[in-house]
Structures are given as C-alpha cells and as structure tokens.
Amino acid sequence: MNLKVQMNHSWVKQWGVSWVLAAVAAVLGLGLDAAQAATPTPAQAAACPAILNHTFDRLQDEKPQSLCQYAGKVVLVVNTASFCGFTSQYKGLEALNTSYKDQGLVVLGFPSNDFAQEKGSNKDIADFCESTFGVKFPMFTKTQVTGDGAAPLFKQLTAQTGQKPRWNFHKYLIGRDGKVIDQYSSMTGPESKTLLSAIDKALKAKP
C-alpha cells in the first residue's frame, strides 16, 4: 500500500503530524513507535549525533530501526552472544534497562558471532533471549563488531575509545550528548559499581 500525506493540508496542520502518523500507522497495522523508528523525523535527524546516525534491523522482525530515536538518552551498547560464559549478563542488562529506562537509559544489544559463540539464526537468538532471560531491551540482528567488516557504529566506538570488543559482552557507554564516555570489558558486569556510577553520572548530565 502506498500512502502519501500532504503536510500542507489544513487538516494535517490542525491535528498535527504525530496524529496523522498514528492514523496512518493504524491503517497499516503498525504501532506509532514502529512507524517513527524506521525513519527519523527531520527534527530527530537534525538532533542526531554522529555516533547514533545508523540504522540496524530489529532482531525480532528484521525491520530497520534508526538509532536516532535514542538521541538524548544515555546508551549502553553491548555485543552479545548466546553461548558464552558471560551470557548470564543478559539478566543483569535487562534489570539495568528496566531500572533506569524512566531516567533516560537504554541498553542496546548487538548479537555477534565474531567470537564463534552466536551461530544461530536471528529468530533462534530472539527466542533464546526472550524465553531464557526475558529480554525486552532493544536488540538487533547479528552484527560484525570487529575487523574490517565491522559495522560503522562499532568502528566509531573503537576509534573513539581506542578499544575494540575483546570478547562478547563488551560495553560502550554513550552520554546524552552523543559522546562516548567509556568502554568496559566483559569482566565488568551490569551490576558493577564502576559501571553503575558512570551511568548515574551520565544520567544527571545535561545533553
């Protein structure tokens, strides 16, 4: 279905773009979040820091999602794997996301087979994360995080911190202003005082 909305129509101006987008989303059987997430609005694009100016496919349905939707939040980027000694960190990451999301934190998970411990399909990974750890934080399809073929996001994170992911569950903390605050090895768990302190400080900072 091809729907075009003329933004200069008086009824669009009266009701607002968000209302119209919601109506279109309803017709298409989508939620408003889904309609907005794939393509950032002009305002979102203008405010989107370079580190978040990327699009990844969502793990559950492989639909494209712009990371610009997380602009202004504190973002914890984690490369994950289902068959790793650190896989249990999923539980702590979900708890972290749940506890701090209302304050502006979002955990983003990027499954990766770079260390040969994530060989399943995207559906396999999604089912495992949901059924085993109840993961609700945003996750994306399998992503290369090291080497020449690494996703641009991870190339930027590596360049800005001087440290590529050394193993699964490496973490990068991004502030509200879109600047990378620090990186943490797999040994730094979600409950680590060092990580929690950095998150608290980042949440209190102005974008």
| Nearest CA-CA partner of 203 in 96, 68, 73, 83 | 73
Catalytic residue from among 48, 68, 84, 129? 84
Catalytic (active site) residue 84? yes
Q: Which residues sit opposite 180 in a β-bridge?
A: 174
184 in Cβ contact with 194 (< 8 Å): yes
C-alpha closest to that of 118 among 171, 168, 188, 58 = 168
Q: Pick from 59, 121, 51, 68: which is nearest to 90 by CA?
A: 59
Catalytic residues: 84
